[in-house]
Amino acid sequence: MAQPLLCVRGLVKHFPVKKGLLQRTVGQVHAVDGISFDIAEGETLGLVGESGCGKSTAGKTILKLIDPTAGEIRIRGERIDALTRREMRAYRRQLQVVFQDPYSSLNPRLKVRDIIGEPLVNYAVSTGRELDQRVTELAIKVGLSAEALDRFPHEFSGGQRQRIGIARALALHPSLIICDEPVSALDVSVQAQVINLLGDLQREFGLSYLFVAHDLAVVEHISHRIAVMYLGKIVEIADKQALFTRPQHPYTEALLSAVPVPDPEASRKRIILRGDVPSPVTPPPGCRFHTRCPYAFDRCSKEEPEMREVVRGHHVACHLREAQTGANETATLPA
Ligand code: SF4
């Protein structure tokens, strides 16, 4: 198998909980707790889960905007998790980000020209006329007009601002863009336009994406594979079609039941999960999902399920799968 572009192994990010006058550490927020996945060249991995499951923290840790607590992050085989900020500079060009909120991720005092050109100036890639030309090309590439370059971010709609953010992310010819809920703040019709734009750019430049979202419906069109996260752990990871047609984890099944079906004749039974997501400061023992899982049995609260490959390329962490399936067969979750 070809070397992946991004390889993440056992990535952990804990944040200390401090209390009192002396700010003593009294606990840890287990935001990301040992996640592993690869992203191939030109591939999109959707990373999905409810708010607070750790998916955005995972993205920020891979970007090294925050330092990991443990684990390995490799770009084309080179470890980057232990690099200093200075050493990271060479890799920053390969790793770019598009943030969730196009209203706050753009400097309101800069013209669009300066926002898109900022990375090119910071990395001394181009100056003068060459810089102007490159910035204009980037704006046109993302569907903005050349006239837009002399305006300020507040003069644009949410979708157009996200296009500005995408142009800025593209400026340094990255290999991987981490899209952190890039369409969550946009209207549904604009969401589709931005997702189509990201798809077109991927085909043209061979980009890879880690596409973080809380909604499976949003990642469906753009992802090749999807990883589902719950309370700091990846519970299932599979090819998009396999995940949508044969979900193997009860949490994925519940998330899928909330995805609208386009066919008015068809219907999907909605699974309402009981209770709230437990606190990441004191995650439940055993399977973290056992407090809400409709299929939980004795073993679930005592023993943490291991990630297993139930079908080629389809990995799931659930005791039920272990009990019901051999290594090479699929099963439907009990009704
Ligand atoms: Fe549910 Fe048990 Fe599977 Fe966890 S291990 S998802 S609690 S059946």
Place of tokens 């997702």: 195
pLDDT interval class at 258 (50, 70, 90): confident
pLDDT digits (tens, 9 = 90+) for 259-291: 877 666 666 678 888 888 899 999 999 999 999
Nearest Cα residue to 179 out of 189, 191, 242:
191
Residue whose Cα lies nearest atom 5 of ligand 1: it is 318
Task: Specify the pTM.
Answer: 0.91
Distance between Cα 235 and ligand 1 center (Å): 10
pLDDT of residue 170 exceeding 50: yes
Buried b (16+ CB within 10 A) or exposed e, 151-182: bebeebebbbbbbbbbbbbbbbebbbbbbbbb
pLDDT tier for residue 324 given thresholds of 50, 70 and 90:
low
Between the CA of 306 and the centroid of ligand 1 the distance, in Å, is 11
Rounded to an integer, the average pLDDT of 26-41 is 96
What does the radius of gyration of the chain's CA atoms come to, in whole angstroms?
Answer: 21
DSSP-assigned states of every residue in 119-179: HHHHTT---HHHHHHHHHHHHHHTT--GGGGGS-GGGS-HHHHHHHHHHHHHTT--SEEEE
Q: pLDDT value at position 327?
A: 42
C-alpha of residue 132 to centroid of ligand 1, in Å: 56
Whether the Cβ atoms of residue 195 and residue 183 lie closer than 8 Å to each other: yes
Q: Which atom of ligand 1 is nearest to the CA of 290?
A: 7
What per-residue confidence (pLDDT) applies to 154?
A: 92
* Closest alpha carbon to 226 in 57, 45, 38, 4: 45
The verdict on the CB of residue 120 being under 6 Å from ligand 1 is: no
Give the tens place of pLDDT for each residue, 223-240. 999 999 999 999 999 999
Q: What is the pLDDT of residues 132-161, one digit of tens each?
A: 999 999 999 999 999 999 999 999 999 999
- Cα(195)–Cα(233) distance, rounded to whole angstroms? 26
Atom of ligand 1 at shortest range from CA of 297: 2
Query: How many angstroms is it from 296 CA to the middle of ligand 1?
Result: 5
Q: What are phi and psi of 74, to 5 degrees?
A: -125, 140
Per-residue pLDDT of 246-255, as tens digits, reads 999 999 999 9
